[in-house]
Structure 1
Amino acid sequence: MPTALLTTFLTPYRVPLFERLAERDAIEVLCYGGGARYVPGWFSDLDAQLEAATFPARRLGGPREALRLGRDYECVIAPFAGGAILPAAYAGARRYGRPFILWASVWAQPRSLAHAATLPLIRHIYRKSDSVIAYGEHVRRFVARIRGTDEDVFVAPQAVEPELFGRAIGEDEVLAFRAEHDLPEGPLVLYVGRVVAEKGIGVLLDAWPQVAPEATLVLIGDGPLAGRAAAASRARLLGPLARAQLPVAYAASELTVLPSITTPRFREPWGLVCNEAMYQRRPVVATTSVGAVAGGLVRDGDTGLVVPAGDPAALAKAIDRLLIAPDLRSRLGEAGRRAVAAYTYEAMVEA
């Protein structure tokens, strides 16, 4: 019997992992979608993703089917997402005596009323799962505190496609990108992601007037703060872009910023934009609320700059520090490119 691997969507940055797992073992990927808001179509078009899949994949029939997974599958792997899906999948594995593996991304306990109500159940799943796959060392530490040990807690490094994000970008592509989006001359500071409060957009827009006036802030994404971003001085909101354009956007910029903050419901699990920017040798400015910082990829003064979450002045200072120092940008960018090379799909599979 195959292993059931549950997930929300077949996002492009997970497809290479699923392909490699399917080559090595008998797996079937069961998708249950979800309320993906303010994300591009390539992220959330599950029908198109399933049609294009080159490995066994289908829709999961909700919590009711999850309760029966142990009947048809040798092992069940499920992420920390999906509401009732996670406890149902856990119960479905235990009901038939099958191993259950939790794929953990959270590194701080959410503090909403809903999470408080389910906390005893979730902690039970953390403790009783046969093993846990963690997004990074930061998640491993969080899980180990709950389980009382880090035994059987394994890190699967977060990866993106090097053939896409690491490809050489010519000057002609950069100039064409600037022209297509009517970007002015001068340095560009890039943000890629949802334009929402928890991503620190408000902090970034508060910081921006303090940044050198010759720089332009470029935001790629959509969300409820898009109107404020579009109205900001020296800022250009491009909206969602095709993934093929993202490497060019990174190459056209001087640096990438990920200013995420912690809220009662959210702390950035990782931040794959850090990996993406590093493949183009672009330094990253990220906050202490970013998983890629806590997990060790973005290291202050080594592979990027790290600032306190929610601090506009510190964020502006870090951006300016990089804008005026091309040698520092180059050093951090090269170090980031070397560091991200270890974050591969092969390493994820081996976890």
Structure 2
Amino acid sequence: MGGVPSSLRVGIVCLHTDPYAPPGSGDVGGMNVVVRHTCDALARAGHRVEVITRWSDPATAGREEIDGVVVHRLAVGPPRTVLKGENEAFMDDFGRELALLGPMDLLHSHHWFSGIAALPVARSWGVPHLQSFHSIAAPESTDLSAGERPESPGRLQGEAFLAQQSDGVLAVSRAEAMTALERLGAPPERLTVVYPGVDSALFHPAPETPGKRSSVLVAARLEPLKGVDLAIRALALLPVERRPLLRIAGGATADASFGPELLELAAGLGLRDDVELLGPQSRTGLADLMRSSTMVMVPSHSETYGLVALEAAASGVPVIASATGGLVEAVRDGTTGLLVQGRRPQDWAAAVDRLLAEPELRERLGRQGREHAVARTWDSVGAVVARAYRGVVVGAGVSAVGRA
């Protein structure tokens, strides 16, 4: 292709969820945050960034420019939010509509729905295709105690095809990269780890309020994978006189009954006045909640990274998290927070009790967490992603050790 232009025209494909949808709505989660901030950083660096998603909200425009990023919303499927799995039926039609927008210098797909739709388009244009999964299907034989949901064989086969056929795979943690390598057969030379960044101006510390009741924040979608029930069970083991308030920020996804079930669990354990279900939050609302909390808990069965842990660190708040998946990389045990092995409520209660009893430890973890997080800027993430893009455009491959 000759020399690589300083400014690339990049297509960011997100079939099932709109990265520019209002935070706290629908299936908007960590992936949306990562995609949007990375796109904004690439646009600030002078690249022409175009996000292609499905038109699922009649109140939004079919095409608009936001912060220098062009957002295309393709009229594929019904103009409403659907259950995540239903997007599989739209892949072929979405790919046909996507093909009308090009060619571009490359396509970068997020989640397997997007990749299956976009890879054939990239091949028809003669341009590279990169894949980010954000979650990878578990085989049917997976022990569900590990927190992974088994998927249809079609998804695992589709993800393996994308991992092996794409020109590069961008993972948000070494844990995710190893899963792509071992489970999907991704060529190691095409794997790049790009850790997420954080907006350390939005997520910033605030002084503790003397005399205020201690609180633990769990920020997660309300689904079994996130392990919110473990946080409730741990809280029930703490003595009433020093029991903190548990605040749960997040909305239900497919199963709207899960939130009421959590409240029933709390009531059954005598915690009716100790657990608050706050619902989905805007980014500003989440930041306010974090800095006003004594600690943040991430009790997920598994996470590819765990962006909430980094946002808590930026807020100067210590984190208690599962010692699993990408959380081992998001939280530096004993430095920015505490990692808990296993899922015994007693062990989680002990970690909470320790932070409550040791204000000096809370202060140290919060301070060191902030120092760690402020170095993780979205512009640095954008720079690493841009290097990966240039690498595939010139056919030089993607470094297996690149990371922000």
Q: TM-score, normalised by structure 2?
A: 0.71
Task: Render the CA deviation track for 1:206-228: whole Å, top value 9, x for unaligned.
Answer: 22111242221122223333224
Equivalent in 152, 162, 167 of residue 115 of structure 1? 152
Deviation at 1:96, TM superposition (A): 3.1
Structure 2 residue aligned with 1:222 = 251
Partner of 1:209: 236
Q: How far apart, CA to CA, are the structure 2 residues paired with 1:189 and 1:311?
A: 18
Deviations 1:161-186 (A, max 9, x none): 222112x5467xx69xxxxxxxx942
Q: CA RMSD in A?
A: 2.9
Cα-to-partner distance string for 1:228-284 (whole Å, 9 max, x where unaligned):
4445212222223333232222222110001111xxxxx322222112211121110
Match of 1:181 in 2: none
Q: Secondary structure at the match of 2:335?
A: coil
Q: 2:103 aligns with which of 72, 97, 103?
A: 72
1:160 and 1:115 mapped to 2: Cα distance?
A: 34
Task: Determine if the alignment matches structure 1 residue 137 to structure 2 residue 164.
Answer: no
User: In structure 2, how many angstroms separate the alpha carbons of the residues matched to 1:88 and 1:314?
Assistant: 44
CA deviation string 1:83-125 (max 9, x = no partner): xx42121122123322110113236735466432343332121
Map 1:195-344 → 2, pairs under 5 A: 195-213=222-240, 214=242, 215-223=244-252, 224-230=257-263, 232=266, 233=271, 234-261=274-301, 267-289=302-324, 291-293=326-328, 296-344=329-377
Matched, 1:153 2:211: no
* Counterpart amino acid of residue 142 in structure 1: T
Query: Which residue of structure 1 lines up, in the alignment, with residue 51 of structure 2?
Result: 29
Partner of 2:399: none
- Is the contact made by 1:10 and 1:50 (CA closer than 8 Å) also made in structure 2? no
Closer, same or farther in 2 for the Cα pair 1:237/1:340, shift >3 Å?
A: same
Gaps of 5+ in 2: 1-7, 24-32, 77-90, 141-148, 385-404
Contact map agreement 1:10 1:49 (CA 8 A) in 2: no
Larger displacement relative to structure 2 (308-317 or 142-151): 142-151
Alignment of 1:46-195 (within 5 A): 47=60, 53-54=66-67, 55-62=69-76, 63=91, 64-67=93-96, 69=99, 71-82=102-113, 85-106=114-135, 109=138, 111=140, 114-145=151-182, 146-147=184-185, 149-166=187-204, 169=206, 185-195=212-222
Deviation at 1:71, TM superposition (A): 4.9
Q: Identity, % of aligned pairs?
A: 26
Shift of 1:65: 4.0
Helix, strand or coil: the match of 1:190?
strand
CA positional deviation for 1:126: 0.2
Change (3 A) 1:196 1:17: same
CA distance in 2, matches of 1:239, 1:331: 30
| Alpha carbons of structure 1 residues 45 and 218: separation in structure 2 relative to 1, 3 Å | farther
Equivalent residue for 1:39? none
Please say if residues 62 and 74 of structure 2, whose CA atoms lie closer than 8 Å, have aligned partners that are also in contact: no
Partners of 2:163 and 2:338 in 1: CA distance: 33
Q: Distance in 2 between matches of 1:109 and 1:335?
A: 35
Would the aligned equivalents of 2:231 and 2:299 in 1 still touch at CA under 8 Å?
A: yes
The Cα shift of 1:51 comes to 5.4
Shift of 1:334: 1.6
Identify which of 9, 16, 39 aligns with 1:2. 9
- Cα pair 1:6 1:29 within 8 Å, conserved: yes
TM-score by length of 1: 0.81
- Residues in 2 aligned to 1:318 and 1:6: alpha-carbon distance in whole angstroms: 40
Instruction: Determine if contact 1:269/1:290 at 8 Å carries over to the other structure.
Output: yes
- The number of residue pairs the alignment matches comes to 322
Q: Retained in 1: the 8 A contact 2:10–2:50? A: yes
Contact preservation (8 Å) 2:203, 2:291 = no
Q: 2:282, 2:121 → 1: CA distance?
A: 38
CA contact (8 A) 1:201 1:225 kept: no
| Post-superposition offset of 1:33 | 6.5
